[in-house]
Amino acid sequence: MAVPENGTYRSEDGNFSLQIAAANAANGQISGTYEASYSPEGPLAVTNGIVAHFSWVFNDGQGTDGVAPFNLGISVEVRPDGRQYCIYDRWAGVYQTDNSLLMEGCRSYVNSTGVVQATSLGTLKFKK
């Protein structure tokens, strides 16, 4: 079975999800949807284009690559056309052998009135 597996992975706190629609093994790009139930501007949904990347390592135990565990990162930006604000959500973590994600997240936010925030989103497990 190809990994990362397509499907929707939800964080254990229920606030974040990554839906993997397609994963390209040649360049490590993941297309799909990223959602967050909260932000300084309300819920977020990023559905266009590449929302994550992954990188395999050679697995000595199985004598191959293309198998879990491997690195996976989510990187999304939200900036409306009027540029009233910009939000970056970043997650770095690992796609595990049980087809779950162990991720550490952070968020930065800037708005047009000068409000700035840099916050941790925590360390969370995402499961299908």
What's the confidence (pLDDT) of residue 3?
A: 85
Token code pair at residue 78: 């939200």
Model-level pTM? 0.94
7-127 CATH choice from 3.40.50, 2.60.40, 2.40.128, 1.10.1740: 2.40.128
Reported as half-sphere exposure (CB side, CA atoms, 13 A), residue 102 has a value of 8
What's the confidence (pLDDT) of residue 1?
A: 59
**For a pLDDT cut of 90, what percent of the chain falls above it?**
90
Give the domain ranges of the chain: 7-127
pLDDT digits (tens, 9 = 90+) for 48-101: 789 999 999 998 988 888 899 999 999 999 999 999 999 999 999 999 999 999
What backbone torsions phi and psi does residue 38 show, to the nearest 5 degrees? -145, 155
Q: How far apart are CA 51 and CA 122, in angstroms?
A: 19
What's the confidence (pLDDT) of residue 7?
A: 96
Q: How far apart are CA 15 and CA 116, in angstroms?
A: 22
